Amino acid sequence: MPHSPHLSETLPGHPHIARHGATLMVESLPAAELAARFGTPLYVYSRAAIEASARAYADAVGDRPVALRYAVKANSSLAILQLLSRLGWGFDVVSGGELARVLAAGADASQVVFSGVGKTDAEIEAALRAGVQCINVESLSELQRLNRVAGSTGVPAPVSLRINPDVDPRTHPYISTGLRNNKFGIAQSQARQAYAQCMQLPHLRVLGIDVHIGSQITEIGPYLDALDRVLDLVHDIERDGVRLHHLDLGGGLGIRYADETPPSPAQWIDALCERLQARGQGHRQVLLEPGRSVVGNAGVLLCEVVTLKSSLEKHFAVVDAAMNDLMRPALYEAWQRIEPAQARDGAQAMHYDVVGPVCESGDWLGRDRQLDLREGDVLAILSAGAYGMAMASNYNTRPRAAEVLVDGGKAQLIRERESLQDLLRGEHPLQD
């Protein structure tokens, strides 16, 4: 499609990433110029987009008893954590490494929730010594381990039990976490037993109940189903003599990758609070843990077309980014929009599979995309702010990409590109 040199086009779902004529812009900077300056593959994030998403959540909360805890697993880059911390957010972490990151970013440990299905003794001790708000426990065995570590550490453990409500979030099976066959949480039928056991352990302090049903959820219905089941359980648990101070309702709100229409933060939070009010629970402290919806559409992955080639049946655009840089397409068969940094008139457009150089047939970033390409062109893979760099690896001994944060007309390097020397550091050759 021809592009007018004067036409400005905002990309759906990406208010701070737009096409000005033929040129793709991240805020006020051309994507191609960022690629030339910092090299490719390159993760680029819009500060304005992250701040707008974070403030949309804060505005939706208003003066209600709802606390926001960003899910660090979505994007754990230090500068982004610092940005959210300055905006008043707390954090949801799932490893000792994520805990160390948020503390390095200046987070208040008393606003950090430690989740995760397989915490080690060392991670539990680190969380207790840091003074986290709560540790979300996912099994009866973990209750015993937490009590033991808390006793040896001399710090009472603040506890919430994660309950598996067996609710279908209607999302990809790999990111569904609230069904009975998922590894997460304690079965709802075992919850009262678990809380009774918790009350008998001397080094635990019960604070709440936790539920998280999945990720990239685009409907409110599953959230309300899960909330209703949890509230039924809260009634029974408190009748047993356990006092619950908060409800942790998790996160998982989806974003627009293609044509999805997920609820806004306000629609989601309003629906949850209205249901709580209707059930006589509007006074409860609520924790929410969004991640993808805060950063997902704030980021792009820039890459360069290395080779154009054709087989008997396919046209391939081989780029210098790969599944080690962006795992979502290979792992989930995920669709993410791909845009040229500098568009042409489309006269030579063909249907390309955009693939990387990794030695796997699963190394693809987009299939059957109509693009007018030349070798050396820069492509932008959109909606890459969440589960992009956070899931990157060194497969095929490939250095991980650099990261840049754009703020209006300024660009700051927030993570240096790894070198080959970085990849060898810490390894030791044979001594004989």
* Burial of 105: CB neighbours in 10 Å, binned 0-12, 13-18, 19+: buried
Measured CA angle at 17 (ends 270, 402), to 5 deg: 105
Residue 23 token pair: 């040129």
Q: What's 23's DSSP letter?
A: E
Q: Which of 246, 249, 248, 250 is nearest to 205 (CA)?
A: 246
| Entry pTM | 0.94
Residue 82 token pair: 């610092």
Instruction: Please check whether residue 257 is in contact with residue 297, taking contact to mean a CB–CB distance below 8 angstroms.
Output: no
C-alpha to C-alpha distance for 36 and 277, rounded to whole angstroms:
54
Structure confidence at residue 3 (pLDDT): 47
CA R_g for the chain: 23
Query: Scanning the structure block, which residue is given the tokens 């845009």?
Result: 339
How many of the other CB atoms lie within 10 Å of CB of 52? 14
Helix-helix angle 121-130:96-104, to 10 degrees: 30
C-alpha to C-alpha distance for 229 and 109, rounded to whole angstroms:
30
Strand 410-415 to strand 402-407: parallel, antiparallel, or no bridges (unpaired)?
antiparallel
Domains (range + CATH), the chain: 8-47+296-424 (2.40.37.10), 115-290 (3.20.20.10)
Structure confidence at residue 184 (pLDDT): 63
Structure confidence at residue 179 (pLDDT): 43
pLDDT digits 0-9 by tens, 204-255: 999 999 998 888 989 999 899 889 989 999 999 999 999 999 999 999 999 9
Residue 359 appears among annotated catalytic residues: yes
Helix-helix angle 191-200:140-153, to 10 degrees: 20
Q: How much of the chain, in percent, has pLDDT values that exceed 90? A: 83
Query: Higher confidence at residue 313 or residue 317?
Result: 317
Mean pLDDT, rounded, for 80-105 = 98
Please, where are the H alpha helices in 62-212?
A: 78-86, 96-104, 121-130, 140-153, 191-200
Mean pLDDT, rounded, for 327-348 = 94
Structure confidence at residue 183 (pLDDT): 53
Confidence of residue 348 (pLDDT cuts 50, 70, 90): very high
Mean pLDDT, rounded, for 4-20 = 77
Mean pLDDT, rounded, for 247-276 = 94
Phi first, then psi, for residue 404 (nearest 5°) are -135, 140
Q: Which residue is catalytic, options 134, 273, 303, 359?
A: 359
Confidence of residue 343 (pLDDT cuts 50, 70, 90): very high
Confidence of residue 166 (pLDDT cuts 50, 70, 90): low
Structure confidence at residue 78 (pLDDT): 98
Query: Scanning the structure block, which residue is given the tokens 């704030």?
Result: 298
Mean pLDDT, rounded, for 104-123 = 96
Instruction: Please check whether residue 243 is in contact with residue 206, taking contact to mean a CB–CB distance below 8 angstroms.
Output: yes
Mean pLDDT, rounded, for 370-393 = 98
Structure confidence at residue 9 (pLDDT): 76
By 3-state DSSP, what share of the chain in percent is helix, strand and coil, each rounded to 5? 30, 25, 40
Residue 380 token pair: 């932008």
